[in-house]
Every structure is written in structure tokens, then in C-alpha cells.
Amino acid sequence: DSPLTDDPQVLLARVFGFASFRPGQMEIVDAVCAGRNTLAIMPTGGGKSLCFQLPALCRTGVTVVISPLIALMRDQVRSLRAAGVEAGALTSGNTEEETEAVFQALEEGRLKLLYIAPERLAQSATLPMLRRVGVSLIAVDEAHCVSQWGHDFRPDYLRIGELRRALGVPLAAFTATADAETRDEIVARLFDGQPPETFLRGFDRPNIHLAFAVKDSPRDQILRFADARRGQSGIVYAATRAKTETLAQALREAGHPACHYHGGMEADERRRVEIRFQQEDGLIVVATVAFGMGIDKPDIRWVAHADLPKSIEGYYQEIGRGGRDGAAAETLTLYGPDDIRLRRSQIDESLAPAERKEADHGRLNALLGLAEAVDCRRRLLLGYFGEVLAEPCGNCDLCDRPAKVFDATEVVRKALSAVLRTGEW
């Protein structure tokens, strides 16, 4: 039973311990193994990492993985090593010993996956080093970070196209952000405008129930939602740090295990919450959007938004953290005139260039359109991401109850619609 094989199906079971590919994975793995330039757009939790980790094992030489978050890189390296794969990371978080071990493995030609932080690309020693070690593939995780109009823009991602040209190897890019503009930007910047083989697959997460509600007393609305799901792990997203703290407090007073999480907390304090959430059953984390990218918990049963997210992409990414195990997950997004005003002014007051503001308004308006939808929300949501749903989904609030029963909120909805149309208060 030799460990040496390049059969993806065998590697899937032997190295990763999975019985079968998730929808879309096999096609992507095949294309990447074959050395074709690829762009894979798959929802959060869809299993993108495997789509470059497995091909890295099929190909001779080193696969360079560029990823925006040190914590994510370290997690992946840790689990690859646990599975017996030679992987290492070069990040600013390394100890000297770690860095030494990575170079040692590279020298000896053992390393299969080399994770590097985008900041490394700015260092003059990086390219000569990568030329020397025999790179056969570049994998770019969270490729939307190359988009200047997106919320995760990382200037160093702009150096990746240059790296690809310099090394002359295939590049595989991965993201969960699927709007056409971001896609075009990825193709322009990572692939010099030469369209790669593109996979837009499995975007639907049919197990996630979608629901919006007009905000009346948000604290009570969130408490009611959590009460009905007592004992289940959930996330509540709130727009401000202060609100994460007060809402977590309110949940605790109602007898829920709950804690808050935001970017103003110390790194070790945040890490503690992440670990607790990962390990404990039934914990509720009330967080700003700072909570997310590093979370890999399969059984999050619900995600609530106490405030309207800032864009349709943000919304989709945040609710997408629920139900990664494929079992039912529920969501509730609250919105009201104040949210719209807040999000609009955040965009207007940002220091971003005019084109970016315009794009941000477009993404916010797309979300407002979804909030104001009158039939199947999922169809509208997927449509925005380029996927066509032939039938109503049967798993959103509007499919549950056709619009006419919403009489009680009709007045508020009308008022909101007027605001949306005119932008006036």
C-alpha cells in the first residue's frame, strides 16, 4: 500500500480521510492537477482548500499558497502536517526555528505546500527564493482580496500576477465572492486578462433558511430568535462593538451561554472566544464582522443579524457560516430605516475613491432589494451571484408564507420602499 499515488480519489481517502468529493470539487481538482489556470468560485464552507491541497500532492515540486490571514495559514499547515503532508508557512508570526525548518524542507526538496503571506511578495528575496525551490503551482486563496473595490482588499495581492509571470507556472484562484465585477478584476489582475477555466458551482446552500424582518425592538427580536433555538450554537452579527457587548449581556441574562467578539479586543482574548466557540456546544457569539474568516465550525445552527450587513456579499458570507455540515441552519436579518441610513453614510464618509463608493452603494442596494423581495429570496440572491434557480426554493420566509400575510408590517415596508426610492427622510 504505497503512499505514492497521484490518483485524486485515493489521496482524498488516504490523506484527507474523506469518502467522497463535495459537489464541484472533483472537476476543480482535475483542472488544477492538469496544470490549467483555474478560477473556482465556491461558497464559504464548500471545501476550497482541498481543491489546491490535493493537487499539490499530485504535482511534482512545490505549490505556493498565498492566503491573507496568518491564523488561517497556520491552521491549514497544522492539519496538513497532522495528515502526514509536508507543509510549511512563511509568515511574520513564525519563530526562527519554524522558518529554519521550512527552508530546510525546501532545500531537501521535501516540502509540498509552502504557504506565504502576501506581504512576503514585497520582499526582494522572495522571488529568487521561489525560483530556486521549483514551484509548480501557485494557489491563491481568498482571491477577491485582489479587488480594490471589495471589502477585503490587500494591496500585496496585486503582486501575484507578476509572480505568476516570473515563475511561468499555472495559477489556481479561489474565492467565495462571485459578483461579476470581482470576477473580472481577478481575471484582469491575476491572469493578465486571459480567462482561466472558471468554476462557479454549488453556490446554493439549500439547507440555510433565509429570513428578513423589519426591525421593531431588535433586542427582543434577537432574544426570541435565540430562545427558540436554545442549546444550539449561533452567531449574532451587530454593527458596533458596543452593541455586541450589550446584546451578549442580554442573552446571558436570558440564560444563554453567550460572549461578545470584536476587533477592539486583545488578540488572546479573541482567540479564547474562537476556541470556546469551536469546542463548546450551544455557545452564542455576538460579534462584529471581525468574527468569521478563521472560523471552521461545521455545526453552527443559526446566524442572526441584529443590524443590516453592509453588502449582499457580506450578508451571504456571514450567513454562509451556518450549516456547513449540511444540516438545517436558520438565519434572521433585521433591517430598518436607521440601518440604511447608517450603511449609506458609512460608504459616503469613507475615504474610498468615487468608483469604489459607487460599487459599495450598488452592493448595499442589492442587499436592500433582497430585504424587500416579494417572492423567493433565494432565487434573487443566487441570481445576483449568477446562478439560476428554476423553482422557488421552499426554504425562505417568503416561500413559507407568501407576501400577502405580511399585513402587519406593510406600512413599514411601504415607508422603507419610499426611502429606498428617494433616499429621502
Binding site for Mg ion (CB under 5 A): 48
Which has the closest alpha carbon to 75: 318, 230, 278?
278
Residue 314 contact partner, candidates Mg ion, ligand ADP, none, CB within 5 to 8 A by sort of partner: none
User: What is the closest distance, in whole angstroms, from the C-beta atom of residue 69 to Mg ion in the complex?
Assistant: 10
Q: Give which of Mg ion, ligand ADP, none residue 47 binds (C-beta under 5 to 8 Å, depending on kind).
A: ligand ADP
Rounded least distance, CB 215 to ligand ADP, Å: 30
Nearer to ligand ADP, 18 or 406 (CB): 18
Nearest Cα residue to 409 out of 364, 380, 365, 374: 374
In the complex with ligand ADP, the residue whose CB is nearer, 44 or 331, is 44
Distances (CA, A) of 355 to 149, 351, 409, 412: 8, 11, 35, 32
Question: Closest approach of Cβ 25 to ligand ADP, in Å?
Answer: 6
Binding partner of 150, given ligand ADP, Mg ion, none, CB within 5-8 angstroms per partner class:
none
Which residues is 89 bridged to in the sheet? 115
Residue 378 binding: pick among ligand ADP, Mg ion, none (C-beta 5-8 Å cut-off by kind): none
Q: Which is nearer to ligand ADP, 142 or 307 (CB)?
A: 142
Q: Which of ligand ADP, Mg ion, none does 50 bind, CB closer than 5 to 8 A by kind?
A: ligand ADP
**Minimum distance from residue 290 beta carbon to ligand ADP (Å):** 17
Q: Which residues bind ligand ADP (CB under 6 A)?
A: 18, 21-22, 25, 42, 44-50, 296, 324
Helix (H) or strand (E) holding 116: strand 113-116
Nine-digit cell string for 301: 445552527
Query: Cα–Cα distance between 398 and 44 in angstroms, integer?
Result: 24
Cβ 206 to ligand ADP shortest distance, Å: 17
H or E segment at 165?
helix 160-167
Closest approach of Mg ion to the CB of residue 115, in Å: 12
Toward Mg ion, which CB reaches closer, 48 or 262? 48
* Cβ contact 54:29 at 8 Å: yes
Between 72 and 306, whose beta carbon lies closer to ligand ADP? 72
Give the residue with the Cβ less far from ligand ADP, 46 or 170. 46
Question: Which partner from the list Mg ion, ligand ADP, none does 45 bind, CB cut-off 5 to 8 Å by kind?
Answer: ligand ADP
**3-class SS of residue 168:** coil
Task: Give 200 or 419: the residue with its C-beta nearer to ligand ADP.
Answer: 200
Please report the sign of the dihedral spanned by the C-alpha atoms of residue 40, residue 42, residue 48, residue 54. Answer: negative
Closest distance of CB 387 from ligand ADP, Å: 16
Q: What is the distance between the alpha carbons of residues 303 and 322, in angstroms, rounded to a whole number? A: 6
Total residue count of the chain as it appears in this document = 425
| Shortest-Cβ-distance residue relative to Mg ion | 48
CB of 84 to ligand ADP, least distance (A): 16
Nearer to Mg ion by C-beta: 244 or 317? 317
C-alpha–C-alpha distance, residues 201 and 212, integer Å: 25
User: How would DSSP label each residue in 343-406?
Assistant: HHHHHHHS---HHHHHHHHHHHHHHHHHHT-SS-HHHHHHHHTT---SS--S-BHHHHS-GGGG
CA of 58: how far to CAs of 7, 15, 152, 241, in Å?
7, 12, 31, 45
Residue 154 contact among ligand ADP, Mg ion, none, beta carbon within 5 to 8 Å by kind: none
